[in-house]
C-alpha cells in the first residue's frame, strides 16, 4: 500500500514522507478497506507535531489520521463476505494504532468500518468520524433536545457547524457564536441567533436572545476561555458539554455559580465513546443525512502526496469546511 508516514515529530513538510508498506491482511474480525478519502483533523496535526510532550512517536512508523472512507476489499474470519464491496466510513483509524487512513489501504476491526447510506458521498463519509460523532455526542449526549435552548460555541468550526444543524433538526432553539466572517454562513444552517464571539457583552447578548432565560445546554469548543461566561448563562441542572479548550488548557473554574446551579460538566473525547453510545450517534447521523438535514462542507481536497499541505491548511485555521486527502 502507498502511504504517508512519519517516524519523528516536527513540521509537516519535514517529517511526512511517501512510503510503501505491505498491506496488512485482515485478521479474525477485521476488514481491509481501499481508501477513497482521509479526513485531516486538528488532533492529527498536533499528534504529528508532538505537542503531547513525548520525545518520539509511539510507533516506529505512524500513518496519520483517523477519519476516512472507502470500500471494503477483504474480510477476516468471522466477518460476512457480503461486506466486500461495501462503501464505508471509518472511526478511530489511527487511535492507539500505528497505521491510520492517510494511505491507499487500512486494515482494522470490522465495527470501525461503518456502512455508508446509499445517498451519502464518500467525501461526506470522511468527515463523520471525529467531527460528526463529536457534534452528535455534544448535542445528544444528554438525551432529547427538542424544546430546549442550546448555546453552541464556535458555530463556524466544523464540529460547531454540524452541531448547529443537528440541534435545529432535533427541534432545539439554537444560539451560536462565531466570528463576523462566518455569520452569514452559520445563519444559513438555521440557527435562531448568531452572535459575535468577541462581544464584550456576550453573556447579556445570549440571555437577551433567549428572552432573558438561561440556556439548557452549552456545547463548548473553548472551555477554559469561556467557562466564566458559561457559568453566567447556564440554567439550573444544565450541562456544559466541552470538547475543546485549546486557548486555556488549565482553567480556573468559577465553582460557586456552577455549584449552585448543579451544573454537569461533560468532557467529550470522542475516541473513548463507549460502543453502545457510539452506535446511537452513528444512527442519528445517518438519519440526519438521509433526511437532508445535515450538510458537511469541504474546504479543500489534496492529493495523498500533498498530505503535508493538508496538515498545514488545518493548522492554519480559518477554514470553511473540512480538509480531506484523496487516497485513490
Mean pLDDT of the chain: 97
287 within domain boundaries: no
**228 and 123: one domain?**
no
**149 and 257: one domain?**
yes
Q: Is 262 exposed, middle or buried (0-12, 13-18, 19+ CB in 10 A)?
A: exposed
**67 and 148: one domain?**
no
Q: Which pLDDT belongs to residue 294? A: 98
**37 and 9: one domain?**
yes
Convert the pLDDT of each residue in 56-109 to its tens digit.
999 999 999 999 999 999 999 999 999 999 999 999 999 999 999 999 999 999
**197 and 233: one domain?**
yes
**35 and 166: one domain?**
no
122 within domain boundaries: yes
196 within domain boundaries: yes
3-state secondary structure of 115: strand
256 alpha carbon, distance to own chain's centre: 32
**105 and 182: one domain?**
no
- Residue-wise DSSP of 27-80: -TTEEEEEEEEEEE-HHHHHHHHTTT--SS-SSSSBB--SEEEEEEEEE-TTS-
> With contact defined as beta carbons under 8 Å apart, do 146 and 171 qualify?
yes
**11 and 118: one domain?**
yes
The C-alpha cell 453502545 sits at 276
Residues 259-269, mean pLDDT to the nearest whole number: 98
**41 and 170: one domain?**
no
Convert the pLDDT of each residue in 185-204 to its tens digit.
999 999 999 999 999 999 99
pLDDT above 90: residue 52: no
Residues 6-28, mean pLDDT to the nearest whole number: 98
**188 and 317: one domain?**
no
210 within domain boundaries: yes
**153 and 213: one domain?**
yes
Per-residue confidence band for 275, with pLDDT thresholds at 50, 70 and 90 = very high
277 within domain boundaries: no
**89 and 200: one domain?**
no
Write out the three cell numbers for 11: 513540521
Give every CB contact of residue 132 below 8 A, 6+ residues apart in sequence. Answer: 162, 285, 296
**What is the rounded distance in angstroms from the CA atom of residue 33 to the CA atom of residue 107?**
6
Convert the pLDDT of each residue in 301-327 to its tens digit.
999 999 999 999 999 998 999 999 999
Q: Which pLDDT belongs to residue 64? A: 98
Q: How many domains does the chain have?
A: 2
Read off the CATH number of the domain in which 77 is found: 3.90.180.10
260 within domain boundaries: yes
Q: Which pLDDT belongs to residue 4? A: 98
Q: Which pLDDT belongs to residue 12? A: 98
CB burial readout 54-74, b (16+ within 10 A) else e: eeebeeeebbbbbbbbbbbbb
65 within domain boundaries: yes
Look up the domain containing 74 and give its range.
2-127+296-326
Write out the three cell numbers for 89: 466510513
**What is the rounded distance in angstroms from the CA atom of residue 74 to the CA atom of residue 33?**
7
Single pTM value for the model = 0.97
Indicate the range of 9-18, 48-57, 127-136, 265-274 predicted with least confidence: 48-57
Q: Which pLDDT belongs to residue 260? A: 98
Per-residue confidence band for 53, with pLDDT thresholds at 50, 70 and 90 = confident
**What is the rounded distance in angstroms from the CA atom of residue 201 to the CA atom of residue 187?**
20
Rg (CA), the chain: 20
240 within domain boundaries: yes
Amino acid at each position: 500500500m502507498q502511504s504517508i508516514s512519519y517516524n519523528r515529530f516536527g513540521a509537516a513538510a519535514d517529517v511526512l514522507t511517501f512510503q510503501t508498506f505491505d498491506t496488512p491482511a485482515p485478521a479474525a474480525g477485521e476488514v481491509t478497506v481501499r481508501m477513497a478519502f482521509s479526513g485531516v483533523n486538528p488532533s492529527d496535526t498536533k499528534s504529528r507535531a508532538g505537542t503531547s510532550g513525548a520525545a518520539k512517536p509511539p510507533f516506529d512508523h505512524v500513518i496519520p489520521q483517523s477519519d476516512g472512507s472507502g470500500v471494503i476489499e477483504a474480510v477476516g474470519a468471522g466477518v460476512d463476505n457480503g461486506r466486500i464491496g461495501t462503501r464505508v466510513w471509518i472511526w478511530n483509524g489511527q487511535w492507539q494504532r500505528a497505521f491510520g487512513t492517510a494511505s491507499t489501504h487500512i486494515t482494522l476491526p470490522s465495527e470501525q468500518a461503518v456502512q455508508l447510506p446509499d445517498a451519502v458521498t464518500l467525501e461526506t463519509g470522511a468527515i463523520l468520524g471525529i467531527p460528526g460523532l463529536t457534534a452528535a455526542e455534544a448535542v445528544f449526549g444528554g438525551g432529547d433536545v427538542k424544546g430546549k435552548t442550546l448555546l453552541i460555541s464556535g458555530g463556524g468550526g466544523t464540529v460547531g457547524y454540524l452541531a448547529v444543524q443537528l440541534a435545529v433538526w432535533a427541534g432545539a432553539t439554537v444560539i451560536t457564536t462565531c466570528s463576523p466572517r462566518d455569520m452569514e454562513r452559520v445563519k444559513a444552517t438555521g440557527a435562531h441567533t448568531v452572535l459575535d464571539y468577541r462581544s464584550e457583552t456576550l453573556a447579556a447578548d445570549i440571555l437577551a436572545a433567549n428572552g432573558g432565560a438561561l440556556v439548557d445546554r452549552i456545547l463548548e469548543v473553548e472551555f477554559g476561555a469561556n467557562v466564566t461566561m458559561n457559568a453566567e448563562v447556564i440554567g439550573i441542572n444544565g450541562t456544559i458539554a466541552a470538547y475543546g479548550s485549546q486557548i486555556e488548557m488549565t482553567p480556573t473554574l468559577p465553582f460557586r455559580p456552577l455549584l449552585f446551579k448543579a451544573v454537569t460538566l461533560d468532557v467529550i473525547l470522542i475516541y473513548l465513546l463507549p460502543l453502545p453510545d457510539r452506535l446511537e450517534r452513528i444512527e442519528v447521523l445517518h438519519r440526519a443525512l438521509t433526511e437532508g438535514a445535515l450538510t458537511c462542507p469541504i474546504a479543500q481536497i489534496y492529493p495523498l502526496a500533498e498530505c503535508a499541505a493538508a496538515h498545514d491548511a488545518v493548522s492554519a485555521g480559518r477554514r470553511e469546511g473540512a480538509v480531506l486527502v484523496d487516497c485513490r
